[in-house]
Amino acid sequence: MPRFRVTIEGSGIEIPGDFAGVPGHAVRGFFVARVVNAPSREEAGRRVLAVIRNDWSRGVYAGLGGLPQLRVSDVAPATFFEWLRPRRTGYAFHSGR
C-alpha cells in the first residue's frame, strides 16, 4: 500500500498566552504533517484528518482553544526517508498574524 505525507492546516482556535515571547500573542492555528499508508491521496487525507480531529476532541489537545477548522493543504507520496522516520506527533503552532 502506498505511503503519503499529508499536511493539515488547523485554524479558528484561540489559546491565550505569550506565543513566541510576545505578551498577549495567542496561538490561533497550526500546521501538522503526518505519514500514512492509504490506497489513495483522498483516503490518506481522510485518515489524517480523523487522527487530528481525535487529538482535538478527546485526546491530548481536547479543551485547548476549541475545536479547530481543519483543511488538507497537501498530500504527496512519502519519500524514503519520511517512510523510515519514527512516527511524528507534534504540531507547529502559529499566531495567525
pLDDT tens-digit map of 3-62: 999 999 999 988 887 766 777 778 889 999 999 999 999 999 999 999 999 989 987 788
Spatial separation of the C-alpha atoms in residues 86 and 89, rounded to whole Å = 10
Per-residue pLDDT, averaged over 58-73, amounts to: 86
For residue 51, which of 15, 17, 43 has the smallest C-alpha distance?
43
Quote the pLDDT of residue 78: 93
User: Quick one: how far is CA 17 from the chain centroid?
Assistant: 20
| pTM: predicted TM-score of the whole model, two decimal places | 0.85
Per-residue pLDDT, averaged over 80-84, amounts to: 81
For residue 65, which of 55, 74, 75, 73 has the smallest C-alpha distance?
55
Model confidence band, residue 97 (pLDDT cutoffs 50, 70, 90): low
